[in-house]
């Protein structure tokens, strides 16, 4: 289930009507309040990234270039001793993803030296993932990791992801201050929507990095 603009109550109410035509105020309030609070965490993280790269002059442009989408996901228990893939290995295509989950393990991240490691968050932990669009905007300074969900055992896994997404029409382009001889431009400017569309094509799905294939220099 995916809710666009989940930090805006009217948008959540409109979506909720599809599931509960008579309305569900408690669901709406919970979703909106969760999204609003985590959007502040997202903004803190992005401000820290922009500052740490010394490109504060792009702060407003960057902060105003995004929307939020909330996704609620259920991974069924395999009900056998075999490990089953819940979600194939991928990089997120957006800016930042903030994940929260129940206490059923399954999320794995590929380290830069090629090892799959388990993510095992405590109930008071969020997992923050950088997506391809922020990786490209920082001209590769920040890594967007491959991750996947592997299910075993007999309990379902639930996760909730808040995805920060570039607004339609916004062109993702690394600030010129992040491009120099030591750091040549890695990706041509691109539209997130067009990149997503490419990533779902046969070519986009079979290449190792949809981002590199789509707009790599
Ligand atoms: O369920 C999770 O923990 C990961 C979800 C995820 O990677 C995604 O939706 O892109
Ligand atoms: Fe993901």
Which value does ipTM take for this structure?
A: 0.99
Up-side HSE of residue 82: CA atoms within 13 Å toward CB? 4
**Is 149's C-beta closer than 6 angstroms to any atom of ligand 1?**
yes
The pLDDT value given to residue 79: 85
**Which ligand minimizes its atom distance to the CA of 159?**
1
Q: Which two tokens stand for residue 165?
A: 């997404």
Relative to the CA of 157, which ligand 1 atom is closest?
1
**pLDDT tens, position by position, 40-80:** 999 999 999 999 999 999 999 999 999 999 999 999 999 88
* Ion ligand 2: residues, CB < 5 A: 92
Report residue 39's pLDDT band, with 50, 70 and 90 as the boundaries. very high
* Structure-token match 């500052």, residue found: 51
pTM of the model: 0.96
Number of helices and strands (H, E) in the chain?
7, 11
Cα–Cα distance for residue pair 194/197, rounded to 1 Å: 5
- DSSP string covering 70-86: EEEEEE----SSS-EEE
Asked if 109 contacts 89 with a C-beta cutoff of 8 angstroms, the reply is no
d(CA 141, CA 206): 25
For the chain, the average pLDDT equals 96
- For ligand 1, whether the C-beta of 186 sits within 6 Å is no
Distance CA 179, CA 104 (A): 42
């Amino acid at each position: 289930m995916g809710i666009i603009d989940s930090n805006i109550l009217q948008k959540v109410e409109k979506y909720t009507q599809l599931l509960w035509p008579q309305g569900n105020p408690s669901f709406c309030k919970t979703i909106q309040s969760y999204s609003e609070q985590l959007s502040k965490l997202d903004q803190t993280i992005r401000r820290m990234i922009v500052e740490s790269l010394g490109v504060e002059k792009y702060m407003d442009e960057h902060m105003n270039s995004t929307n939020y989408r909330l996704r609620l996901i259920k991974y069924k228990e395999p009900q056998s001793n075999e490990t089953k893939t819940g979600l194939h290995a991928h990089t997120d295509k957006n800016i930042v993803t903030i994940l929260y989950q129940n206490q059923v393990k399954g999320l794995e991240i590929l380290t830069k030296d090629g090892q799959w490691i388990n993510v095992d968050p405590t109930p008071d932990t969020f997992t923050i993932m950088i997506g391809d669009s922020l990786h490209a905007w920082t001209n590769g300074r920040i890594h967007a990791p491959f991750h996947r969900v592997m299910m075993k055992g007999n309990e379902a896994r639930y996760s909730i992801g808040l995805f920060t997404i570039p607004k339609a029409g916004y062109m993702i382009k690394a600030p010129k201050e992040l491009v120099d001889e030591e750091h040549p431009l890695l990706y041509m400017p691109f539209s997130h929507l067009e990149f997503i569309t490419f990533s779902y094509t046969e070519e986009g799905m079979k290449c190792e990095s949809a981002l590199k294939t789509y707009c790599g220099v």
